[in-house]
Amino acid sequence: MLDIVLLGSGGGMPMPNRFLSSMIISYKGRKILIDCGEGTQVSMRNFKTGFKSIDIICITHFHGDHIFGLPGLLSTIGNSNRTEPIIIIGPKGTEYVLRGLMSSIPYLPYSIDIIENPRNSLGINILAESMEIRQDSKGYSNDDIIISTLELDHSSPCIGYSFYVTRKPKFYPEKARQNQVPKEIWGRLQKGESVIYNEKKYIPNMVLGEERKGIKLSYITDTRSIGTIPNFISESNLFICEGTYGDDEDLEKAIKNKHMIFSEAAELASKGKVEELLLTHFSASIDEPELYKSNALRVFENTTIGYDGFTKMLMFPKE
């Protein structure tokens, strides 16, 4: 299962009831942070998410409401005696921007590895104490999570993310016996390895069943609605999308500022055939986003209005 907590649902400037853009994903005891707007650390304390086990930080773009909380958080993680590297993924220019942000915290007890503007999916292995990430992966049979990115249409370089949690095929002891697979290598085959044992080659499908559907989470902010998004978010279990403006009458403003209104996000959810839409990144001009929920509901019924502290557990589909 995959757990998410929406740490900040605001856009532009922090409000008394909303911190700025940030969300944390937890899986197998490790964490991925998406964006780190002002107030992220406070929100983490409020909702007791922890921060020391954050291995990967995904940055959508470099506007302040998405990154100004980053130097403080990295410093706090350093003070927690973390020594394992942290990976930061972001659009073109990430290394240059981070160099400036981190000028005030030049000494950290861990290293930061930057992956800038990835063109290929990234495979992640969850290890006992950390995550290991692979670029340009040829196959993902041994990876726990696959991260993919999409270039968006905003006023600065911006990327969206999808996270696919893989599910290994079911192990069948009876199939292993039928194929005369020695018990000594069952475990290795179950992990997806091919094994040569007693001069004979054994492959995983000699003990495993069919591929099983995993969990897909997509995160899109900040951007205009563009034609590449529906395919990118296709069949997501949860689609988290910006809804900077709630009123349809704000469309002209949304176009000018390269953002979306609720109904546009709902249209993407419908075209992408997702299970649920979670709206976030609300303009400071919207005191109560719930008042505009009907604008999304008329297009996509399973819509939720996000808020700081919104939590959700995503489970593998029942067989």
Is 281 annotated for ligand binding? yes
Answer whether 247's CB lies under 8 Å from 267's CB: no
Answer whether 52's CB lies under 8 Å from 40's CB: no
b/e code 154-192 from CB counts within 10 Å (16+ = b): beebbbbbbbbbbebbebeeeebeeeebeeebbeebbeb
**How open is the CA angle 289-22-83, to the nearest 5 degrees?**
165
The residue behind tokens 């997702």 is 274
Residues with catalytic function? 65
Distance CA 222, CA 244 (A): 9
CA 86 vs CA 49, 115, 310: distances in Å: 17, 11, 25
**How open is the CA angle 302-303-307, to the nearest 5 degrees?**
140
Sequence-separated (6 or more) residues with CB below 8 Å from residue 161: 34, 58, 60, 147, 148, 149, 150, 218, 219
Is 259 annotated for ligand binding? no
Sequence-separated (6 or more) residues with CB below 8 Å from residue 18: 8, 9, 10, 282, 307, 308
Is 154 annotated for ligand binding? yes
The residue behind tokens 């000594």 is 184
Look at residue 197 and give its three-state secondary structure. strand
Is 222 annotated for ligand binding? yes
Residue ranges of the annotated binding site for Zn(2+) are 61, 63, 65-66, 154, 222, 281
Q: Which residues are annotated as a binding site?
A: 61, 63, 65-66, 154, 222, 281
